[in-house]
C-alpha cells in the first residue's frame, strides 16, 4: 500500500452485544480519505470496542466493516497491513530496549528495515536518547511514545488510537497532534476520546450513548 493511495472505511449497521448487555446497534458511517474521525461518548458506551471492530480484532454481532483502497475492497488478510494501532492492550517487552522492541515488531511483521529507520522513528517520538535503555526503565509516558513508534513502523494508511494522549505531558500531546496531521495527509486517523480539546481536531465525530 503506497503513499497517497486513497483509503476509505465503510461501516454498515454495526452492532455489538454480549450476553449481559448490548453496547450499540445499527451504526452506519463512512470515514472519508484524508480525514480525522473521532469516537466519543460516556465511559462504557463501547468506544474501545468499536475501534477493535474497525481494526478487525473482534467480530461484530451484526453488520460489516469494509476497508477500500483505490476503490478496491481489501480482503481480511490485507487489512492488517493498512492499520497501525495505539492502545492500552499493546504489550511492550520490558526486557528489551526501545530499539530492540521496534526491531522485534518489525521482524514479526516481516519488515526488513535498516537500524537508522528505527532510530528515525524513535527520534520522531522523542526517545532518541533512550533508545538503548530497557523499556523496564521507561515511564508510562515514554512507553506511550514507544507505542506510537510501533504503530508507525509500516507507514499505515489507517492509524487507530485509543485515548491518544493517555500518560503524555503537553510536549507528548503536541507530538500526537503532529503525528495526526501527517497521518491525515497519508490516509485516515480514527481515535476514541472524551477530551474536548482532542475532539476539536476531528473532521467528523461519532457520539456513542
Sign of CA dihedral 177, 102, 66, 68: positive
State the pLDDT at residue 115.
80
pLDDT at 5: 65
pLDDT value of position 2: 43
Region 87-98 average pLDDT: 94
d(CA 110, CA 36): 28
* Extended strands (E) in 124-166: 158-162
| Pick from 140, 147, 105, 110: nearest CA to 125 | 147
pLDDT digits (tens, 9 = 90+) for 51-77: 999 999 999 999 999 999 988 999 888
Write down the pLDDT at residue 6.
87
50 — pLDDT class (breaks 50, 70, 90): very high
Q: What local confidence, expressed as pLDDT, does residue 32 receive?
A: 96
Give the per-residue pLDDT at 70.
Answer: 86
Under CATH, what is the fold of the domain 7-208? Answer: Rossmann fold (3.40.50)
pLDDT at 116: 85
Overall average pLDDT of the 117-143 stretch: 96
For residue 2, how far is the Cα from the chain centroid?
A: 18
Is the Cα torsion angle 148, 85, 18, 24 positive or negative in sign?
positive
Q: Determine which of 108-117, 146-155, 168-177, 196-205 has the lowest per-residue pLDDT on average.
A: 108-117
What is the predicted pLDDT for the residue at 114?
77
CA 174, CA 162: separation in Å to the nearest integer? 16
- DSSP 8-state symbol, 92: P
4 has pLDDT over 70: no
**Locate cell 455489538: which residue?**
16
Residue where the block lists cell 460489516: 64
pTM: 0.92
pLDDT confidence of residue 77: 82
**Residue 46 confidence (pLDDT):** 94
Amino acid at each position: 500500500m503506497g503513499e497517497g493511495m486513497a483509503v476509505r472505511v465503510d461501516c454498515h449497521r454495526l452492532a455489538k452485544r454480549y450476553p449481559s448487555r448490548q453496547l450499540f446497534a445499527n451504526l452506519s458511517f463512512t470515514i472519508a480519505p484524508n480525514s480525522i474521525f473521532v469516537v466519543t461518548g460516556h465511559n462504557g458506551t463501547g468506544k474501545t470496542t468499536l475501534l477493535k471492530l474497525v481494526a478487525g480484532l473482534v467480530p461484530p454481532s451484526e453488520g460489516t466493516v469494509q476497508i477500500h483502497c483505490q476503490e478496491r475492497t481489501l480482503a481480511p488478510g490485507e487489512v492488517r497491513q493498512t492499520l497501525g494501532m495505539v492502545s492500552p492492550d499493546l504489550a511492550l517487552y520490558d526486557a528489551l530496549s526501545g530499539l530492540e522492541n521496534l526491531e522485534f515488531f518489525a521482524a514479526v511483521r516481516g519488515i526488513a528495515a535498516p537500524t537508522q529507520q528505527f532510530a528515525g522513528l524513535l527520534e520522531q517520538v522523542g526517545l532518541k536518547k533512550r533508545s538503548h535503555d530497557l523499556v523496564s526503565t521507561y515511564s508510562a509516558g515514554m512507553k506511550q511514545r514507544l507505542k506510537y513508534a510501533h504503530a508507525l513502523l509500516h507507514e499505515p494508511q489507517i492509524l487507530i488510537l485509543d485515548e491518544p494522549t493517555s500518560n503524555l505531558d503537553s510536549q507528548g500531546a503536541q507530538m500526537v497532534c503532529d503525528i495526526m496531521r501527517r497521518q491525515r495527509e497519508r490516509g485516515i486517523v480514527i481515535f476514541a476520546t472524551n477530551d474536548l480539546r482532542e475532539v476539536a481536531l476531528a473532521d467528523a465525530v461519532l457520539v456513542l450513548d
